[in-house]
Amino acid sequence: MTKTEFKKQQTKGVIELLESKFNAENFDNDQGSYFTFNIGEFEGSLMRNRFDVTMHDAISMGSGFTDEEYALRDAALVLEETIQKAIDNYLDMPGFEGTTNQLKGLSIFK
């Protein structure tokens, strides 16, 4: 398996995880370096290179917002953290140990 094939396999697995565990939908691949997707009313991005997730409502907010807006932000933060932990567990990537070990067996590193 080449490095490209391995990355495609990982990407497919991560998307399937998001779809099955979090009911993610509407994956858009037009961005190039990342996918956008929706989970309910939340929109997020999945970066291709390290599979980092960003929920777009998980932003820093100062004072002056409503309790509802802060609650939406807090829910997005919890969702973002939960998704990232699930992806990291799936890929076994706390320090990329699982990925690194699999890459070492690829023909391009021999």
CB 47 within 8 A of CB 83: no
Structural domain for 48, as ranges = 3-109
Closest CA to 18 of 35, 41, 1: 35
- The whole-number pLDDT of residue 66 equals 94
Closest CA to 18 of 106, 80, 96, 102: 80
What are the per-10-residue average pLDDT scores of the chain (110 residues)?
85 94 92 91 93 94 94 96 93 54 45
- The whole-number pLDDT of residue 103 equals 47
* Per-residue tokens: 72: 């939406």
Question: How do residues 61-87 score in pLDDT, each as one tens digit?
Answer: 999 999 999 999 999 999 999 999 999
Domain total of the chain:
1
